[in-house]
């Protein structure tokens, strides 16, 4: 099984439940061919960089999944035939990219834990400090 990510853009004139139906159908194409969904996110409407099929906006949907490479032609075919999908891209994640992503996630979690621990110990949060005086003002005070 390989890890893939599919980012596709759905027509902006669809209602939220219709967009969810499109997303569910894409997920079923993956799962019907032996794949497993890792994450699915509907990012919502965003402005496009250029006009696509007479639309200047589109609803972005991200799908991360694990599947064999045989699923990709089926998924690509589904995207081409699905009228609501105006653009799509499927990317394979190699082991190095996945490892780097995991390391970054761990670093972020550690930073959050350290920040939370610092704040819970009564660390300095700079909310009650006086504003810093400029160095020129400090030099004037010393001359007096």
Give pLDDT tens digits for 6-15. 999 999 999 9
- Flag whether pLDDT at 139 surpasses 60: no
- Flag whether pLDDT at 122 surpasses 70: no
Number of domains composing the chain: 1
18: containing domain:
2-95
In angstroms, rounded to a whole number, what is the distance separating the alpha carbons of residues 39 and 51?
Answer: 28
What was the pLDDT predicted at 104?
86
% of residues, the chain, pLDDT over 70: 84
Q: Do the domain assignments include residue 137?
A: no
Q: Do the domain assignments include residue 136?
A: no
Decide: 36 and 64 in contact? Cβ < 8 Å.
no
Q: Do the domain assignments include residue 129?
A: no
Domain CATH for 11: 3.30.70.60
- CA distance to 34, 42, 53, 101, per residue, from 85 (Å): 23, 13, 10, 28
Order the strands of the 55-67 sheet from edge to edge: 36-52, 55-67, 2-10, 85-93
In angstroms, rounded to a whole number, what is the distance separating the alpha carbons of residues 138 and 41?
Answer: 53
CA triplet 136, 138, 139: central angle to 5 degrees?
A: 65
């Amino acid at each position: 099984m390989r890890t893939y990510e599919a980012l596709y853009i759905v027509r902006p004139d669809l209602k939220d439940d219709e967009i969810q139906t499109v997303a569910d159908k894409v997920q079923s194409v993956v799962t019907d061919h032996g794949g497993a969904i890792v994450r699915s996110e509907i990012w919502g409407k965003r402005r496009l960089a250029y006009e696509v099929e007479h639309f200047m906006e589109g609803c972005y949907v991200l799908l991360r999944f694990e599947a064999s490479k045989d699923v990709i032609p089926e998924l690509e075919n589904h995207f081409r035939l699905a009228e609501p999908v105006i653009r799509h891209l499927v990317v394979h994640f190699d082991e190095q990219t996945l490892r780097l992503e995991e390391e970054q996630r761990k670093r972020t979690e550690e930073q959050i834990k350290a920040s939370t621990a610092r704040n819970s110990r009564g660390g300095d949060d700079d909310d009650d400090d006086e504003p810093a005086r400029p160095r020129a003002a400090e030099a004037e005070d010393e001359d007096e």
